[in-house]
Amino acid sequence: MKATASRKTKQAENNVWPREVPFGREIVRVYRRKTPLGNFAYMVANYSGEKRRFDSYADEALALEAALKLARQMSEREVLAAAMTNEQASEYAAAVQLLAPFKVGLLSAADAVANALKTIGGFENMEKVKQAAGQG
């Protein structure tokens, strides 16, 4: 006669923490912790920036969804990095060196530039902004 797993075993298997969410070669971990009020909170370990940070979620499903999205983004970055040409790698290294004295990472600088371009409407409007400021 074939033995089946007990209900306790199945519950224990579903309750394993931290959970690992894989995508491609990336794995993002989701941790569960008990809050001071006795509820559970879920934290996604985010290594996408220069430092690790924890993104918090009150709902397990939202945390697992966010972890999958993060793993997908990180995996896509690895694929792009592997496909870089020598010229692109050289530009990356030069940009990192230019930002090093200011202790600013390339991702943070690119984010700031992208936000500035959204505000002014792109490089096409840069000349108009300079002229309005009396620099052109």
pLDDT by residue, tens only, the chain of 136 residues = 555 555 555 545 567 899 999 998 889 999 999 999 999 999 999 987 768 899 999 999 999 999 999 998 888 888 778 888 889 889 988 999 999 999 988 888 988 989 988 888 876 766 666 677 776 5
**Joined tokens for residue 74:** 């990180």
Closest CA to 60 of 72, 68, 52: 68
Closest CA to 95 of 109, 78, 115, 79: 109
DSSP three-state, residue 124: helix
Where do the structural domains in the chain lie, given as residue ranges? 7-83, 85-136
Q: Residue 26 has what pLDDT?
A: 86
Q: Residue 126 has what pLDDT?
A: 65
Decide if 109 contacts 64 (C-beta within 8 A).
no
Cα angle vertex 21, ends 44, 19, to 5°? 70
Q: Residue 21 has what pLDDT?
A: 94
pTM above 0.85, yes or no: no
Label residues 87-105 b or e (16+ Cβ within 10 Å = b): eeeeeeeeeeeeeeeeeee
- Name residue 30's beta-bridge partners: 19, 44
